[in-house]
Amino acid sequence: MRRLLLLLSLALVATAVQPATAQATTTGSGFNRVAYFIQWGIYGRNYHVKDVDTSGAAAKLTHINYAFGFVNAAGECYSADPWADWQRGVPAEQSVDGVADDWTGPLQGNMNQLKKLKAKHPGLKVLISLGGWTGSAYFSDAVLTPQSRSKLAASCIDLWLKGNLPDAPGAGAGVFDGIDLDWEWPGSDGNAGNVIRPEDKQNFTLFLAELRRQMNAFDRRSQLTAFLPAAAAKIDAGFEVRKVFDYLDFATIQGYDLHGTWELQTGHNGNLFTDRKDPNPVKYSVDQTVRDYLSRGAPKRKLVIGVPAYGQGWTGVTAGGNGLWKPATGPAAGKWGPGTEDYKDLATKPGKRYRDLLTGSQWLYDGNQFWSYDDPAVMLEKAAYIRLKGLGGSMMWSIDGDDSKASLTKALWSILR
């Protein structure tokens, strides 16, 4: 009964908020609307900062998180791809303002384009995201002592906020408005080879305190956010939740990869509510993750809910029915990797689509392949949940997965504006 009442309330919120005009700005709603822009998307994906603008997404966002900056074994911030970040001359057809880089200036590449995007959309903030799945190996070492924490914070601020690029001091100033910390994961397993310690949990808090202190000394307007996990076991292993939020403007919490092709059974990528038919001993959902953070002392207005612009897909799903919770032989083929596909490609993929309003989920099944992904209707339901619960907003991973009309981004904005 409680879930039914909530669903009715979500429906009322979704229908009560009418579409706004194309001239609306990114400010004034109180909700954060965040999207990650991936540094490497300019290559095979051919997705550029200009596309964030021409799709209409830039006008609907409050924040772009630029992924990723890395931390090296010496405990310092560095660029994993300076060519993409500030060295590449962007041609006119890929430039936000239609003006090509001249190949001689100290700031070119994605960072110069982000600066141009901010000039066109003055309410938009851009944060540098540090870490990610493949860039979190050395965080534990880098935050181990007061001295190392101070060194890492100073290094990150110097490179990304002060913009002191190698051979071009100050050239990158004004691009980034803050730092998003994406350590995956303190105190528990992430990518193979990551350094992990039990004391990561306390050191994460101590590093946030030091980073916040140094950022305030540089510019009190600079923002500090973090990406936090969905699993309760990872929350408890790595985060002093109540203390962490004292230093954060907000945190984006994982609302996807709740199930995926590391499992040989289909499931939901990012279901809003717990599926009572889920046969797994631990049942994940966005709502359960929100409850887990609130019960540990997180302020609800600082919880920004992650949503996927991609799907998780399995193949060899031949048990029939609607394909959900059925055995699979492995990941389905995807354009950019096994078991994953962008929303823009899944939207036109053949097969029968199923929708479950009680779990806030959708999937596609053709008798062999099963894909769990969010479409604009699911985004509306999730945005209505965020609004009704009084949470802090939405975050999309990642903006290049949306279609050329920014359909997912606009669906979220229509409720969270």
pLDDT in tens, 184-209: 999 999 999 999 999 999 999 999 99
- Interval 273-301 mean pLDDT: 98
* pLDDT tens for each residue of 239-284: 999 999 999 999 999 999 999 999 999 999 999 999 999 999 999 9
Two structure tokens written together for 264 = 């040989």
* pLDDT tens for each residue of 374-391: 999 999 999 999 999 999
Beta-carbon-side half-sphere exposure of residue 312 (alpha carbons within 13 Å): 23
305 occurs within a structural domain: yes
- pLDDT of 323 higher than 60: yes
Does the annotation count 184 as an active-site position? yes
Q: CA triplet 121, 127, 129: central angle to 5 degrees?
A: 145
Considering the candidates 184, 210, 240, 341, report the single residue annotated as catalytic: 184
347 occurs within a structural domain: no
Q: CA triplet 407, 379, 370: central angle to 5 degrees?
A: 90
Who has greater pLDDT, 63 or 26?
Answer: 63
> pLDDT at position 22, please?
30
Q: What is the mean pLDDT of the chain?
A: 94
Query: What is the C-alpha separation between 160 and 309, in angstroms, rounded?
Result: 27
- Interval 43-56 mean pLDDT: 98
Who has greater pLDDT, 174 or 23?
Answer: 174
Query: What is the C-alpha separation between 37 and 31, in angstroms, rounded?
Result: 19
Which string of DSSP letters, residue by residue, matches 56-73? T-GGG-SEEEEEEEEE-T
- pLDDT of 19 higher than 70: no
CB 311 within 8 A of CB 371: yes
Q: Look up the pTM and report it.
A: 0.94
262 occurs within a structural domain: yes
> pLDDT at position 102, please?
86
Amino acid identity for residue 403 in this structure? D
Place of tokens 């999937």: 363
- Which of 237, 249, 361, 246 is CA-nearest to residue 292? 237
272 occurs within a structural domain: yes
> pLDDT at position 103, please?
83
345 occurs within a structural domain: no
- Interval 61-66 mean pLDDT: 98
Q: How far apart are the first and last CA of the chain?
A: 29
Domain CATH code at residue 261: 3.20.20.80
> pLDDT at position 319, please?
97
352 occurs within a structural domain: no
* pLDDT tens for each residue of 138-168: 999 999 999 999 999 999 999 999 999 998 9
Query: What is the C-alpha separation between 243 and 235, in angstroms, rounded?
Result: 13
Amino acid identity for residue 271 in this structure? N
Query: What is the C-alpha separation between 195 and 179, in angstroms, rounded?
Result: 22
Number of domains in the chain: 1
> pLDDT at position 28, please?
53
Phi, psi of 356 (to 5 degrees): -125, 100
Place of tokens 């062999």: 368
Query: What is the C-alpha separation between 178 and 195, in angstroms, rounded?
Result: 26
Domain of 297, in residue numbers: 2-17+30-310+373-416
Who has greater pLDDT, 86 or 19?
Answer: 86
> pLDDT at position 367, please?
98
> pLDDT at position 118, please?
98
- pLDDT of 27 higher than 70: no
366 occurs within a structural domain: no
360 occurs within a structural domain: no
- Binned at pLDDT 50, 70 and 90, residue 236 comes out as very high
Percent of the chain with pLDDT over 70: 93
- Indicate the burial class of 344 (C-beta count within 10 angstroms; 0-12, 13-18, 19 or more): middle
Phi, psi of 39 (to 5 degrees): -55, -40
* pLDDT tens for each residue of 92-143: 999 999 999 988 889 999 999 999 999 999 999 999 999 999 999 999 999 9
Percent of the chain with pLDDT over 90: 92
> pLDDT at position 105, please?
87
Enclosing H/E stretch for 397 = strand 393-397
> pLDDT at position 6, please?
60
Query: What is the C-alpha separation between 293 and 391, in angstroms, rounded?
Result: 12
> pLDDT at position 342, please?
98
For 147, other C-beta atoms within 10 Å of its C-beta total 9
- Which of 242, 225, 123 is CA-nearest to residue 183? 225
